């Protein structure tokens, strides 16, 4: 993945988080950015976005969406196996 693609991935995840959570924060914390990087290395963007949007609650941090993203990733892995 190129640097431009990594930036686009991170921005798309952050934008989805902001929209779904209703947060107005401008930047991710270092821990949130580490989470985005981990997802970037392991999970396609569309799967991460699905996990965020399928979450029924509204978290104040991106970590709140970790379990729904993990579940979406498991479904994706099973479907592609």
pLDDT in tens, the chain (81 residues): 899 999 999 999 999 999 999 988 888 999 999 999 999 999 999 999 999 999 988 999 999 999 999 999 999 999 988
Helix locations, the chain, DSSP H? 3-21, 30-42, 45-54, 66-80
pTM for this predicted structure: 0.92
pLDDT confidence of residue 2: 95
**Per-residue model confidence (pLDDT) at position 64:** 96
- pLDDT of 33 reads 95
pLDDT at residue 26 in the model:
85
Q: What is the pLDDT of residue 80?
A: 87
């Amino acid at each position: 993945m190129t640097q431009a693609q990594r930036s686009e991935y991170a921005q798309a995840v952050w934008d989805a988080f902001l929209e779904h959570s209703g947060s107005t924060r401008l930047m991710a914390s270092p821990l949130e950015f580490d989470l985005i990087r981990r997802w970037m290395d392991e999970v396609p963007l569309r799967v991460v976005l699905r996990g965020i949007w399928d979450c029924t609650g509204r978290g104040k941090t991106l970590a709140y969406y970790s379990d729904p993203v993990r579940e979406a990733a498991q479904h994706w892995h099973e479907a592609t196996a």
